[in-house]
């Protein structure tokens, strides 16, 4: 089975792409969704994160305060690395577990930080969603309500466009409308089906 690692900068359109793969019947294993599950109230990872960052990253119900944690990790690279050391091994273990239960010609592993974390042992093929920075900024302001300073800090913490493109086996260019992007996904789906 081909394991396609889907990545791209924040606001590039990865969710639209992964949603389309799911509509086509492809199993998508999303690292962010796994991280979200791992950081719900009562999960062991939350206690580990609170020991590392302090109770200021917890909500009153014991769940992780993701907004507060995001502020800390994007302001301090060493803190971001600490968080990654806690979560990434757990995420990879869960992804590997889910892969074992898939029966199909290929699956998609949505891993936003694939470029930043180096070669991923579960990925055979890298698909990068690439969008112009100005479009990404507009989408992020609209979707997340982030201001320019916050967006710039997030962009600075992520791999550069050049670094992402350097590891790509395939690139989806998201510089037009959604229909154009969907058409590109459909074409790749046929390509990946033929890979097996």
> What per-residue confidence (pLDDT) applies to 146?
86
> Mind listing the pLDDT tens digit for each residue in 83-113?
999 999 999 999 999 999 998 899 999 998 8
Dist CA 12 CA 151 (whole Å):
13
Residue 83 Cα distances to 78, 132, 188, angstroms: 9, 28, 34
Q: Are strands 170-173 and 2-8 parallel, antiparallel or unpaired?
A: unpaired
pTM over 0.85: yes
As a whole number, mean pLDDT of residues 22-40 equals: 94
End-to-end CA distance of the chain: 7
Q: How many CB atoms lie within 10 A of CB 37?
A: 13
In the structure, what pLDDT confidence band is assigned to residue 196 with cuts at 50, 70 and 90?
Answer: low
Given a cut of 90, whether residue 144 has pLDDT beyond it is no
Dist CA 171 CA 127 (whole Å):
6
For 50-63, the three-class secondary structure string (H helix, E strand, C coil) is: HHHHCHHHECCCCC
Dist CA 195 CA 125 (whole Å):
11
As a whole number, mean pLDDT of residues 103-127 equals: 90
> Mind listing the pLDDT tens digit for each residue in 44-92?
999 999 999 999 999 998 889 988 998 898 888 899 889 999 999 999 9
Query: CATH assignment of 2-195, given 3.40.50.10800, 3.30.565.10, 2.60.120.260, 3.40.50.300?
Result: 3.40.50.300
Among candidates 42, 34, 64, which has minimal Cα distance to 52?
64
Domain segments of the chain as ranges: 2-195
> What per-residue confidence (pLDDT) applies to 77?
83
Given a cut of 80, whether residue 119 has pLDDT beyond it is no
Given a cut of 60, whether residue 174 has pLDDT beyond it is yes
Residue 70 Cα distances to 79, 86, 166, 176, angstroms: 10, 15, 27, 30
What percentage of residues in the chain have a pLDDT greater than 70? 99
């Amino acid at each position: 089975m081909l394991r396609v690692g889907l990545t791209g900068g924040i606001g590039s359109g990865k969710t639209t792409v992964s949603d389309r793969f799911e509509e086509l019947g492809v199993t998508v294993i999303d690292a962010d969704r796994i991280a979200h599950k791992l950081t719900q109230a009562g999960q062991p990872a939350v206690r580990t994160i609170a020991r590392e960052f302090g109770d200021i990253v917890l909500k009153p119900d014991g769940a992780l305060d993701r907004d507060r944690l995001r502020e800390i990790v994007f302001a301090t690279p060493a803190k971001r690395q600490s968080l990654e050391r806690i979560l990434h091994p757990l995420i990879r273990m869960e992804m590997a577990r889910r892969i074992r239960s898939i029966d199909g010609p290929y699956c998609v592993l949505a891993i936003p930080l694939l470029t930043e974390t180096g070669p991923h042992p579960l990925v055979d093929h890298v698909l990068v969603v690439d969008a112009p920075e100005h479009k990404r900024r507009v989408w992020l302001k609209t979707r997340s309500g982030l201001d320019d300073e916050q967006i710039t800090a997030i962009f600075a913490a992520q791999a550069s466009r050049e670094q992402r493109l350097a590891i790509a086996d395939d690139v989806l260019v998201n510089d037009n409308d959604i229909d154009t992007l969907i058409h590109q996904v459909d074409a790749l789906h046929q390509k990946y089906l033929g890979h097996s």
